[in-house]
């Protein structure tokens, strides 16, 4: 088993929704010790900002109810990577997602459900406090409200993509209503996401000060809304998505975004919040952490530890745990691409140069490079494995270029602009022009964004999942969604219904 580390089991979200939201990293209490304090808190801008930061904090979580770090988990679900680890029993949830053999009890669903509803709960609470406050300046109130709504939309977007029908909760709930929340259809969830993001766009600043990096901006909200519109596969929404993407992507845009000249520099931890980064989740070792019972209390990126080569001894890299070995399929399509070295570590080449590592389950001798553990960034504080200061870039400019090109082709409008955007992504790494067809755009997304967590949802939303993932166990009308955690069905006595096929 992976280093014999133990993570506490999940807690049903309907119970978690009672929990007092604190800025501290303590375990969440079912019967909150700080309820009286919470009633008298959030009375000034400093305290309200602490509440907003508590919502942001959930974006960093990757270990609620198990190890469910977004980027490597989605890479394992796609054809980019295998699950890996020491053996098939190391992280059963990962292996189940890797071969689409999840059940209501086995899979990553518990952690993903709890994380996102924890974020929604925190957003709802701080929004209620902001709404009732009479001491906040108008400008502070506008921005804080916009940030909380952006974050609520962010968490719901993950929920609707992973689960489909989920409870739609946009207020704080009294105890009597905790176990009665029925699921809403995806169309209703998407409508709320769109509303929150439009509200956020109106209230967010175009630029974020250097000292506030990590807070969201108007450009990020526009990119997220455009992405949400594209993902719904509704042709009537494409024109708005294109307009939003163009605001973000056009040369000299108001947000300062531009492609990095050197592709590898995007992922260099020295270049956090670079010009290509639109939505980035920060990690650091500033608050060094060492509690394996509640890793989310720290600020580090444990996903980095997961994907490193096990017991590695050699130059450049630090040892990891051998998860997410890269598939030979991805290796072969990237083999002659200029982005290969910045995307994939060739373990065999390292061994030939004298390095050693332990070949683990599903080993291919190829590993994720973009967020790999680098010796120079290994923390000397706390437990190093928990304190990797390597950020997650959730949306970047090349991603929005390719999404806009896709929307333009689907909408049958401005093929010249679609080709220009596709060519810009390819030209950055020295590749020549190709026709702006959907197949070429989809292929470019795989090469450009490999192992960044986009591939699985790209395959599902474009109707290619059965063809590509079917040989790996994917089944139509089932595998596009995770099962609802059985704990949610049980605690609500069947009010919450299971997804088809589980």
Give the model confidence (pLDDT) of 49-100 as tens digits.
Answer: 999 999 999 999 999 888 999 999 999 999 999 999 999 999 999 999 999 9
Instruction: Domains for the chain: give ranges and CATH numbers.
Output: 1-68+108-204+474-502 (1.25.40.890), 217-282+395-462 (1.25.40.390), 295-394 (no CATH)
3-state DSSP assignment of residue 213: strand
Q: What mean pLDDT is predicted for residues 168-177?
A: 91
pLDDT given for residue 333 in this prediction: 98
Q: Is the dihedral of CA 181, 228, 111, 465 positive or negative?
A: positive
Record the tokens describing residue 80, joined without a space: 């980019």
Would you state the torsion angle of the CA atoms of residues 251, 211, 297, 489, taken in this order, to the nearest 10 degrees? -40
State how far the Cα of 474 lies from the Cα of 100, in Å rounded to an integer.
6
CA 198 to the chain's CA centroid: 21
pLDDT given for residue 287 in this prediction: 86
Q: Considering the chain, what is the average pLDDT of its residues?
A: 92
pLDDT given for residue 18 in this prediction: 36
State how far the Cα of 104 lies from the Cα of 486, in Å rounded to an integer.
5
Question: In which region does residue 234 sit, left (phi positive, over 0), alpha (psi from -120 to 50) or beta (all else)?
Answer: beta
pLDDT given for residue 175 in this prediction: 80
* 479 vs 1, more confident: 479
Give the model confidence (pLDDT) of 294-324 as tens digits.
Answer: 899 899 999 999 999 999 999 999 999 999 9
Q: Is the dihedral of CA 222, 455, 12, 24 positive or negative?
A: negative
Question: In which region does residue 53 sit, left (phi positive, over 0), alpha (psi from -120 to 50) or beta (all else)?
Answer: alpha
Q: Which of 393, 440, 368, 174 is nearest to 280 (CA)?
A: 393
Task: Give the Cβ contact number of residue 309 at 10 Å.
Answer: 28
State how far the Cα of 386 lies from the Cα of 303, in Å rounded to an integer.
9
pLDDT given for residue 5 in this prediction: 31
Give the model confidence (pLDDT) of 233-274 as tens digits.
Answer: 999 999 999 999 999 999 999 999 999 999 999 999 999 999
The residues, any chain, with a CB within 8 Å of residue 459's CB and separated by 6 or more, are: 78, 79, 465, 468, 469
Give the model confidence (pLDDT) of 367-416 as tens digits.
Answer: 999 999 999 999 999 999 999 999 999 999 999 999 999 999 999 999 99
pLDDT given for residue 25 in this prediction: 35
Residue 31 scores a pLDDT above 80: no
Label residue 386 exposed, middle or buried (CB < 10 Å: 0-12, 13-18, 19+). buried
Give the model confidence (pLDDT) of 418-450 as tens digits.
Answer: 999 999 999 999 999 999 999 999 999 999 999
pLDDT given for residue 22 in this prediction: 37
Residue 104 scores a pLDDT above 50: yes
3-state DSSP assignment of residue 320: strand
Label residue 9 exposed, middle or buried (CB < 10 Å: 0-12, 13-18, 19+). exposed
Task: Give the Cβ contact number of residue 240 at 10 Å.
Answer: 15
State how far the Cα of 473 lies from the Cα of 470, in Å rounded to an integer.
5
**β-bridge mates for residue 344, sequence order:** 368
> What's 363's DSSP letter?
-
pLDDT given for residue 204 in this prediction: 98
Q: Which of 477, 304, 275 is nearest to 377 (CA)?
A: 304
Q: What mean pLDDT is predicted for residues 151-156?
A: 98
Q: What mean pLDDT is predicted for residues 323-335?
A: 98
Q: Please, what is the Cα angle at 254 between 234 and 407, to 5 degrees?
A: 20
The model's pTM is: 0.93
Residue 471 scores a pLDDT above 50: yes
State how far the Cα of 105 lies from the Cα of 1, in Å rounded to an integer.
19
C-alpha gyration radius of the chain:
22
State how far the Cα of 119 lies from the Cα of 184, in Å rounded to an integer.
18
Using an 8 Å Cβ cutoff, are 309 and 322 in contact? yes
State how far the Cα of 55 lies from the Cα of 123, in Å rounded to an integer.
6
> Rounded to the nearest 5°, which phi and psi values hold at 206?
-65, -35
pLDDT given for residue 308 in this prediction: 98
Q: What is the largest CA-CA distance in the chain?
A: 67
Q: What mean pLDDT is predicted for residues 215-229?
A: 98
* 259 vs 23, more confident: 259
The residues, any chain, with a CB within 8 Å of residue 284's CB and separated by 6 or more, are: 299, 300, 387, 389
State how far the Cα of 466 lies from the Cα of 475, in Å rounded to an integer.
7
State how far the Cα of 419 lies from the Cα of 199, in Å rounded to an integer.
32
Residue 190 scores a pLDDT above 50: yes
Kindly state the percentage of the chain with pLDDT values over 70. Answer: 92
State how far the Cα of 451 lies from the Cα of 370, in Å rounded to an integer.
8
* Residue whose entry in the numeric block shows the structure tokens 């060739």: 346
**Model confidence band, residue 8 (pLDDT cutoffs 50, 70, 90):** very low
Residue 283 scores a pLDDT above 90: yes
**Model confidence band, residue 150 (pLDDT cutoffs 50, 70, 90):** very high
pLDDT given for residue 37 in this prediction: 61
Give the model confidence (pLDDT) of 349-368 as tens digits.
Answer: 999 999 999 999 999 999 99
């Amino acid at each position: 088993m992976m280093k014999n580390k133990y993570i506490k089991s999940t807690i049903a979200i309907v119970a978690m929704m009672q929990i007092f939201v604190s800025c501290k990293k303590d375990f969440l209490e079912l019967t909150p010790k700080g309820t009286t304090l919470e009633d008298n808190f959030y009375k000034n801008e400093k305290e309200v900002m602490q509440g907003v930061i508590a919502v942001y904090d959930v974006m960093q979580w990757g270990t609620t109810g198990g190890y469910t770090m977004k980027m490597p988990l989605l890479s394992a679900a796609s054809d980019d990577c295998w699950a890996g680890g020491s053996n098939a029993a190391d992280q059963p949830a990962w292996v189940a997602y890797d071969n689409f053999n999840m059940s209501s009890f086995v899979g990553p669903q518990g952690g993903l459900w709890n994380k996102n509803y924890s974020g929604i709960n925190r957003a709802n609470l701080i929004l209620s406090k902001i709404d009732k406050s009479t001491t906040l300046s108008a400008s502070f109130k506008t921005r804080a409200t916009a940030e909380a709504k952006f974050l609520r939309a962010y968490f719901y977007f993950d929920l609707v993509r992973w689960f489909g029908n989920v409870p739609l909760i946009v207020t704080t709930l009294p105890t009597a209503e905790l176990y009665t929340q029925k699921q809403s259809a995806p169309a209703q969830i998407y409508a709320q996401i769109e509303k929150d993001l439009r509200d956020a766009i109106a209230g967010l600043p175009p630029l974020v000060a250097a000292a506030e990096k990590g807070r969201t901006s108007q450009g990020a909200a526009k990119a997220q809304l455009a992405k949400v519109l594209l993902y719904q596969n509704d042709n009537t929404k494409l024109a708005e998505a294109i307009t939003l993407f163009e605001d973000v992507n056009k040369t000299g845009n108001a947000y300062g975004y531009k492609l990095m000249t050197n592709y590898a520099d995007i992922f260099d931890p020295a270049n956090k919040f670079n010009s290509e980064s639109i939505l980035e989740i920060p990690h650091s070792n500033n608050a060094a952490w060492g509690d394996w019972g509640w890793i989310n209390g720290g600020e580090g990126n444990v996903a980095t530890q997961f994907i490193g080569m096990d017991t590695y001894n050699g130059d450049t890299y630090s040892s990891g745990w051998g998860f997410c070995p890269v598939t030979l399929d991805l290796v072969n399509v990237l083999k002659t691409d200029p982005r290969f070295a910045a995307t994939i570590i060739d373990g065999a080449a390292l061994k030939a140069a004298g390095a050693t590592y332990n070949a683990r389950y599903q080993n291919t001798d190829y590993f994720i490079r973009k967020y790999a553990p680098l010796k120079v960034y290994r923390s000397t504080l706390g437990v190093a494995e928990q304190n990797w200061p390597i950020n997650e870039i959730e949306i970047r400019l090349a991603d929005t270029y390719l999404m806009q090109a896709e929307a333009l082709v689907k909408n049958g409008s401005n093929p010249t602009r679609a080709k220009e955007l596709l060519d810009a992504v390819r030209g950055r790494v020295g590749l020549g022009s190709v026709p702006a067809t959907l197949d070429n755009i989809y292929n470019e997304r795989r090469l450009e964004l490999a192992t960044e967590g986009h591939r699985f949802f790209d395959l599902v939303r474009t109707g290619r999942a059965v063809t590509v993932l079917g040989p790996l166990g994917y089944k139509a009308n089932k595998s596009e969604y995770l099962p609802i955690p059985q704990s949610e069905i049980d605690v609500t006595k069947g009010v919450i219904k299971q997804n088809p096929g589980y």
